[in-house]
Amino acid sequence: MTELSSGPTGVRERTGATAAVWRGPGSGFTVESQPMPRLAAGEVLVRVELATLCGSDLHTIAGDRPTPLPTVLGHEAVGVVEAVGGTPVASDGRPVVPGQRITWTIGTSCGRCRRCRRGVPQKCESVRKYGHEAMTDRWRLNGGLATHCHLVAGTGFVTVPDSLPSSVAAPANCATATVACAARRAGLAPGDTVVVTGCGMLGLTAVSYARDLGAEHVIACDVDPARRDLALRFGATVACPPGALEEAAKDLGADVVLELSGNSGAVESALRVVGLDGCVALVGSVSPGPDVTFAPDAVVRNLTRVVGSHNYTVEDLAEAVAFLVRTPHRNLFADLVPEPYALRDIDAAVAAARSGAAPRIAVHMN
């Protein structure tokens, strides 16, 4: 059920916010007025321009991924700063100020715990993630599917130039930054041959980003011929179905394999096709799946490295935005996001996203 709550006058209060509140698979969304937060030091109130629905939102909505309730889903978003508490600082060291267009990290980090100190702030012991936390009196606007989002201290802020269309910028803080982090962890270098398995939003981004970093060959692998065609437009030098991947990798090598599909067969294949001294980055397997088998002797003798990569750091997010600004594929990225739905039509937006009609479905907040 979707309804728009209104104030005593029947008119939505201009001073309030509106959020699509999720109360679980049995209850769905209600679009409701919410009070504006009082900002503490280091906090930012952002007016959301556009949010895009990511696969993990759909997992939550389907009931596959438990989440505390009620909550405001959505974490891929871009917006304009409306107010700040104290003097929050962006990734470039400059203060965050009202009127500035920003994106923000999916999670907070304390900067002090053991995990933060060893360089994995995305796994901070006290991480709080947008779109994945229960609404509380103190923190109600904690997801992207709302007119406003309350960004708490410990969030990383990255400036987004006005020239970048919101449809291109919104996926930066999940899809693009996740790809940038995985490529960094895999050590992707100029001249590499890169294999990308799974050509949805992350895969197409990975194809384009690998070429941007100077990969000589990018082999894009997907079961869907339409996605393979898209991958070629994003710069893949070869696009093949899973059955042809081994042959393609034999011809061109495979220095880095970015496994983005989460399919267990694709994981096994990634470990089989990776070349000598190559790296397999596992990114797509974000929820439990069937066990996979691999030949340990091949891993040893081929000097294979395997890295897992989940979420990203604020530096990866800054790199993601910089990539989206410099890529020659900006229009192609914009084409992945059809005309946005209004927040009040959240149920239709979710239905479109679930149908797989496009790599990303967007929601605007006007």
Residues that bind Zn ion (CB under 5 A): 54, 56, 109-110, 113, 116, 124, 174
Find the shortest distance in angstroms from Cβ 293 to Zn ion. Answer: 29
Q: Shortest approach of Zn ion to residue 98 CB, angstroms?
A: 27
7 to 13, 15, 98, 139: CA distances (angstroms)? 6, 11, 27, 21
- Select 71 or 109, whichever has its Cβ closest to Zn ion: 109
Considering beta carbons, is residue 179 or 230 the nearer one to Zn ion?
A: 179
| Residue found by looking up tokens 């069937």 in the block | 290
Alpha carbon separation from 227 to 203, 223, 261, 284, 359 (Å, rounded): 9, 8, 13, 17, 10
Cβ-based nearer residue to Zn ion, 304 or 309: 309
Which 3 state secondary structure label does DSSP give 14?
coil
User: Residues 6 or more apart from 49 whose CB is under 8 A from it?
Assistant: 77, 78, 79, 80, 101, 166, 170, 364, 365
**Whole-number minimum distance, CB 191 to Zn ion, in Å?**
31
Nearer Cβ to Zn ion, position 131 or 278? 131
CB of 122 to Zn ion, least distance (A): 10
CB of 337 to Zn ion, least distance (A): 14
Q: How far is the CB of 309 from Zn ion (least distance, A)?
A: 14
Q: Before 70, cis peptide (omega within 30)?
A: yes
Nearer to Zn ion, 237 or 311 (CB): 311
**Residue number, 113 or 322, with CB nearest to Zn ion:** 113
Chain centre distance of CA 228 = 21
**181 C-beta neighbours (distance < 10 Å), count:** 23
